[in-house]
Structure 1
Amino acid sequence: MTGVNLAGVTKRFGDVQVIHGVDLVVEDGEFCVFVGPSGCGKSTLLRMIAGLEKTTAGHIAIGDRDVTDADPADRGVAMVFQTYALYPHMTVAENMGFGLKMTGHSKAEVAAKVAEASRILKLDDYLTRKPKALSGGQRQRVAIGRAIVRGPEVFLFDEPLSNLDAELRVEMRGEIARLHREIGATMIYVTHDQVEAMTLADKIVVLRKGVIEQVGAPLELYNNPDNRFVAGFIGSPAMNFVGGTVARAGVVTAPGFGVDVATDAALPGAGASVVLGLRPQHVQICAGNTHRVEMTEALGGVTYIHLTTATHEKLVVEVHDTPTAKLGTTVGIKIDATHALVFEDSTRGLRLR
């Protein structure tokens, strides 16, 4: 197996630039997940690695080979798409082995590789079935098996679970994680679902408008975001943000929280505007009438209470016992200010440290 190296990679469609000089190293055997909102360039970047989109500028290397201008078939990658793209008239075994058959492999070699992929994906009981007799999750496993039999250096997944229902998505996340542990291949996985990213990745790459905002391990991005975009994108529900004003060195006044917040961050001068961020689990409901209850989401073991502040900002509070806040009433809050993060009040929203 081998890693992937992107150096100054750029993509333009005519006059529109969608990928802006991306530099990234995916280590050998690493599970790397690209995340970001729709239109951020994550699928385009994956397709450039696969060779399905031409690289406008920069270089792509797989292992020690520069594959920037190589044909997709010569890159040593296998791609699993959102759609299964199985041949309906073929059995599971025939679908999995078709690519090898077309490249001249012997029947014995095809059968051996299909059997090994079937063992890994627990498909032995389905090899003689046709796709119409399979569930969505089973079809996706066949699509992954078709990639495995090729013995690629790198697996590329483009939102492979987005067609599945919630229960199957959880099941297939576990299957893909187990697959990675068993075969140890380098995998690059695209999703808009940050829960998938947090549960699968060794490394997460957060993209916005064709630019990498931050790269790191899941908990590193969750606990130590570089900017407001990453802080708001990683974590479910998203981080709460309220406006604040620097009162003096080390202190920010935050009307949305109803308190002054002490911080070790390097603040601008007194009177400057900043943004404070705090995750829902670090806010508690208490007696008072400063925040209006707009909505509650009772999920069983946890309830999310949505509030509006007197300054018309939105807050979400995570509650683990029986919630007493009722829709339309007003409550007070208290915060654990030791977990508050401070960001620039700007479009970039860089973290102040």
Structure 2
Amino acid sequence: MSGLELKNVIKRYGATQVIHGVDLDIEHGEFCVFVGPSGCGKSTLLRMVAGLEETSEGHISIGGRDVTRLDPAERGVAMVFQTYALYPHMTVAENMGFGLKMTGHPKAEIEAKVAEASRVLKLDDYLARKPKALSGGQRQRVAIGRAIVRGPEVFLFDEPLSNLDAELRVEMRVEIARLHQEIGATMIYVTHDQVEAMTLADKIVVLRAGRIEQVGRPLDLYNDPDNRFVAGFIGSPAMNFFEGRASGGTITIDGLGGVQVAAPSSLGGDGPVTVGLRPNHVRLADGDSHVVELSEQLGGVSYHYLTAPGGGRMIVEAHDQQAPRPGSRTGLAFDASDALFFDAKTEARLR
């Protein structure tokens, strides 16, 4: 079994600590995505799993085997980088089989494994080509094929699609999802793009400043975030946040013109509260409380950017093709059950 376990993993560069006691279990065959803003530590954590960064404290186990101090080649992992790192003078087949050739595997075995990886990745027509004759998406598939040929216990992907254009990114997301379904291997994927995380992952790990904020299935994080950071990071467009005031079991949402809703049972007392509403949970209505700044009409969906009475900005998602004029005024409506509440100081979710 090739599950992965991190126990109190810490990374320091001199006196600076960048990974702070991470504990994580990834089951055999899971597709786990590390996601977070730039500098959150997701690539550092992935490189620690790969053995490319030394683990300062804690333990890393793969398939029940402690690999914390092992060299990268002994860990049973294969890594796909942002850059393809293909040898330009070699054919696709030679690139894919080069690692096995260097470790002394028989030629027949190499050819069989390259042929199987080529079948999975639909590269049969390109095996005799050199990288310069391939598109960006095809080169990335070759890099993935090189990892498959090694037969690792765990696949590691470090932002593999960031160099591709938008259309190819979508195509490769589908290819990677299909690959995971076909080979059933444990995969860890790093990205700053929460759309990639939502569409690919069985499990998402949301990181901030070297700490795990929340771990869970994509829709669990979307529907039930533990804090304001996760609520704002997961979901596109991002969640709208408003200042509110709790008093006597009622929250007055100042950023929505003083609308009042019932306070959650976990609220400890009166005081400031942050209220969150996703753009698809708010709708335009009669009234003049908000000023329309801009409308983006994308065909099947539109996004309206509004200015709230207190000066805050918000986004409303709509699925009709009627757009209010910029500068006009509109009211808003929402169901109170869709609102999420957060402690204004700690940013923890109030349920």
Say whether the fold is shared (TM-score over 0.5). yes
Instruction: Deviation per CA, 1:200-233: give whole Å up to 9, x if none.
Output: 0000000000000000000000000000000000
Partner of 1:27: 27
Give the conservation status (yes or no) of the 8 Å contact 1:257–1:334. Answer: no
Partner of 2:338: 339
Matches within 5 A, 1:63-82: 63-82=63-82
Partner of 2:158: 158
Partner of 2:239: 239
Distance in 1, matches of 2:142 and 2:149, equals 11
Partner of 1:321: 320
Instruction: Deviation per CA, 1:136-161: give whole Å up to 9, x if none.
Output: 00000000000000000000000000
Give the conservation status (yes or no) of the 8 Å contact 1:43–1:190. Answer: yes
TM-score when normalising by structure 1: 0.98
Give the conservation status (yes or no) of the 8 Å contact 1:257–1:335. Answer: no
Distance in 1, matches of 2:81 and 2:191, equals 11
Give the conservation status (yes or no) of the 8 Å contact 2:78–2:156. Answer: yes
Distance in 2, matches of 1:298 and 1:165, equals 22
Q: Mean alpha-carbon deviation: is it higher for 323-332 or for 89-98?
A: 323-332
Instruction: Give the aligned residue type for 1:252.
Output: I
Distance in 1, matches of 2:76 and 2:295, equals 49
Partner of 2:349: 351
Q: By how many angstroms is 1:268 displaced? A: 2.8
Instruction: Deviation per CA, 1:20-72: give whole Å up to 9, x if none.
Output: 00000000000000000000000000000000000000000001110001000
How large is the RMSD of aligned CA atoms in angstroms?
Answer: 0.9
Instruction: Give the aligned residue type for 1:184.
Output: G
Partner of 2:113: 113
Distance in 2, matches of 1:326 and 1:15, equals 55
Q: Mean alpha-carbon deviation: is it higher for 134-143 or for 284-293?
A: 284-293
Instruction: Give the aligned residue type for 2:122.
Output: K
Distance in 2, matches of 1:148 and 1:240, equals 42
Q: By how many angstroms is 1:314 displaced? A: 1.4
Distance in 2, matches of 1:156 and 1:195, equals 19
Matches within 5 A, 1:118-133: 118-133=118-133
Give the conservation status (yes or no) of the 8 Å contact 2:256–2:309. Answer: no
Matches within 5 A, 1:78-227: 78-227=78-227
TM-score when normalising by structure 2: 0.98
Instruction: Give the aligned residue type for 2:348.
Output: L
Distance in 2, matches of 1:294 and 1:35, equals 31
Q: By how many angstroms is 1:287 displaced? A: 1.9
Give the conservation status (yes or no) of the 8 Å contact 1:276–1:340. Answer: yes
Instruction: Give the aligned residue type for 1:310.
Output: P
Distance in 2, matches of 1:123 and 1:169, equals 18
Distance in 2, matches of 1:312 and 1:17, equals 39
Question: What are structure 1's unaligned runs of at least 5 residues?
Answer: none
Give the conservation status (yes or no) of the 8 Å contact 2:264–2:341. Answer: no
Distance in 2, matches of 1:45 and 1:111, equals 34
Distance in 2, matches of 1:304 and 1:15, equals 46
Instruction: Deviation per CA, 1:64-98: give whole Å up to 9, x if none.
Output: 11000100000000000000000000000000000
Moved over 2 A (4+): none
Give the conservation status (yes or no) of the 8 Å contact 1:265–1:342. Answer: no
Distance in 2, matches of 1:146 and 1:11, equals 29
Partner of 1:308: 307
